[in-house]
Amino acid sequence: QVQLVESGGGLVQAGGSLRLSCAASGRTSSTYAMGWFRQALGKDHEFVAAITRSGGRTSYADSVKGRFTISRENAKNTMTLQMNSLKPEDTAVYYCAADSRFDYRLGYRRWEYDYWGQGTQVTVSS
């Protein structure tokens, strides 16, 4: 089992920055790709970004490309999402996710991840 805990959410003005963190514990050696998803009120989960275990490959949703940066530090079992130039439409609950099943996959769909955190709220005011 792997446990994921997000932190770093909060309220920020448009144009501002936030840094989200995801701390993994348990059988972290079994985690491959990790990713961030978000869910705005009344909407479906949306893929935000993902990173392979080595950090050598990353993937971003078009809506955040150039503004968000995903990274991970395996020695500390942490993953971060640096969010710059935030917009009101970035307001959502952000979830950390981990894939423990396929080493080669860099997923962007919910079913490709089998471990999830509880989420952290990000609110961007206009």
Q: In a structure prediction context, what are the per-residue pLDDT tens digits for the chain, which is 126 residues long?
A: 999 999 999 999 999 999 999 999 998 877 899 999 999 999 999 999 999 999 999 999 999 999 999 999 999 999 999 999 999 999 999 999 999 998 888 999 999 999 999 999 999 999
8 Å CB contact between 71 and 55: yes
Using CA atoms, how far residue 97 sits from 11, 47, 88, 105, 124, in Å, is 22, 10, 23, 13, 22
